[in-house]
Amino acid sequence: MSDLFRSALSARIAKLPRDLPPTSEFSTMSPYDEAEDEDEGSDALGQLPGSGLGPPAVPRSKPRAARAPNPDFAPISGKDYFVDALQVAVPARGLDVRVYYTPPAPKEDSGTVLVCHHGAGYSGLSFAWFAREVAALSRGELGVLALDARRHGKTASTADKEDMDLSIGVLVEDFVATLRAVFPDPAAAPTLVLVGHSMGGSVVVRASGPLLDGAGAKGYRVAGVAVLDVVEGTAIDALPHMHSLLNARPDGFDSVEEAVEWHVKTKTIRNADSARVSVPATIVPTSAPASSTTSASPASSSTSASRCNASGVSGSVHAYTWRTPLRSTAAYWQGWFTNLSTLFLGARTARLLVLAGTDRLDRALTIGQMQGKFQMAVVPGAGHVVHEDDPTHVAELLVDFWRRNDRLRLPFKVRGVGEV
């Protein structure tokens, strides 16, 4: 058993404080669902650090009677966090991609946009609170674009038969093609800063080269690449243990509120308000295929399906299930993270690594850090979903990163000695 896995098993999660933030100022969406463990489940196994594979597993609770949804965990609409929510047709990829976008304030040039890719099992709405903080801290000068990957969120397949492939090459091509659809003219496009959480970090690192080089055309201006809490060595070390951990993960939920509460009480997401925005997109009504990206109205499934019990054990049926079951992505885990450190260090742009703990660097990144090849920042008190747990701190880091690097518009002419 690795030291990483042993430390994960020994970590016990503290219980959530009782004084939750007020919720009356927010509008709510139609209910979705997710499970929490009220008794034994609140003392759940800690998250496997940096695994990059979405929400951690927790032990199943004992069978319990279904209870009314807790209004403190009611969903919050994402409409107040982005200016636009768009469906972008990308026919070459057989996708109708959901994009959340807050453009930069008008200025002489096209401005700069943080382009955000979520981790496995999450969605673009995981960047909602972060996006609002960026807009406030930059006074609107810095835009934010977050998208839903295939088989995630509200991105839908337009092919006759949905392509279920989530290999790293497919995800990178999807990401690049989507940006080309949103910004078809690289010369008129804003400067891009690519931001990826977990699995999304692997995507943006690999996508930076094709975006810089272009495809038979001038490339885009890419001012930087930021990776949020994923390290190749740590992630790959965790892979052999993932199936056993997923065995203990809830199969489904009886309400959206229950889903949000489970994420908060297990500290999968430590910011309750952020979880109320992001979690609903990670589940679907049980009547819809779990891995389908087709948008389904949760209102039609507001009543829990009949079930043997509510414990999540075999034989139970819940109103909601995971939109992207992580076990179905197992064939791609190794490919997501292999060579990530080398590719990150070799990216032809400024580099930022944001971590939730100082013990997560592998050998390649440790050497690279000592050589000053990238900027690193640690967000104290945050878990794996750092941009949801502490959106203000992470927004400050990214705004500072942008201000430091956005002025470097390469290529530029280097003058010789004596030249004016």
Using DSSP bridges, classify how beta strands 350-355 and 320-322 pair: parallel, antiparallel or unpaired.
unpaired
Note whether residue 372 is domain-resident.
Answer: yes
Per DSSP, what are the bridge partners of residue 116? 146, 195
Q: Which residues contact 217 (CB under 8 A, 6 or more apart)?
A: 186
Note whether residue 160 is domain-resident.
Answer: yes
Q: Which of 57, 390, 58 lies closest to 229, judged by CA?
A: 390
Note whether residue 420 is domain-resident.
Answer: no
Per DSSP, what are the bridge partners of residue 97? 88
Q: What is the pLDDT of residues 83-110, one digit of tens each?
A: 999 999 999 999 999 999 999 998 767 8
Note whether residue 297 is domain-resident.
Answer: yes
Note whether residue 416 is domain-resident.
Answer: no
Q: What is the pLDDT of residues 17-26, one digit of tens each?
A: 333 333 333 3
Rounded to whole angstroms, the Cα distance separating 272 from 389 reads: 9
208 is catalytic: no
Task: Please report the pLDDT score of residue 1 as a whole number.
Answer: 38
How large is the average pLDDT for residues 366-392? 96
In whole numbers, what is the pLDDT of the chain averaged over residues? 80
| Lowest mean pLDDT segment, chosen from 23-37, 253-267, 299-313 | 23-37
98, 124 Cβ separation under 8 angstroms: yes
Q: What is the pLDDT of residues 336-355, one digit of tens each?
A: 999 999 999 999 999 999 99
| Lowest mean pLDDT segment, chosen from 126-135, 236-245, 255-264, 271-280 | 236-245
User: Which of the residues 117, 384, 387, 393 is marked catalytic?
Assistant: 384
Query: Is a pLDDT exceeding 80 seen at residue 71?
Result: yes
Burial class (CB in 10 A: 0-12, 13-18, 19+), 318: buried
User: Which of the residues 198, 274, 304, 311 is marked catalytic?
Assistant: 198
263 is catalytic: no
Note whether residue 417 is domain-resident.
Answer: no
Rounded to whole angstroms, the Cα distance separating 85 from 125 reads: 10
Q: Which residues contact 84 (CB under 8 A, 6 or more apart)?
A: 99, 100, 101, 102, 103
Task: Please report the pLDDT score of residue 407 as a whole number.
Answer: 63
Task: Find the CATH number of the domain harbouring 119.
Answer: 3.40.50.1820
Note whether residue 242 is domain-resident.
Answer: yes
Question: What is the tally of structural domains in the chain?
Answer: 1
Q: How confident is the model at residue 376 (pLDDT cuts 50, 70, 90)?
A: very high
Note whether residue 117 is domain-resident.
Answer: yes
pLDDT-above-70 percentage for the chain = 73
Task: Quote the domain boundaries for residue 177.
Answer: 1-410
User: Which of the residues 174, 229, 254, 406 is marked catalytic?
Assistant: 229
291 is catalytic: no
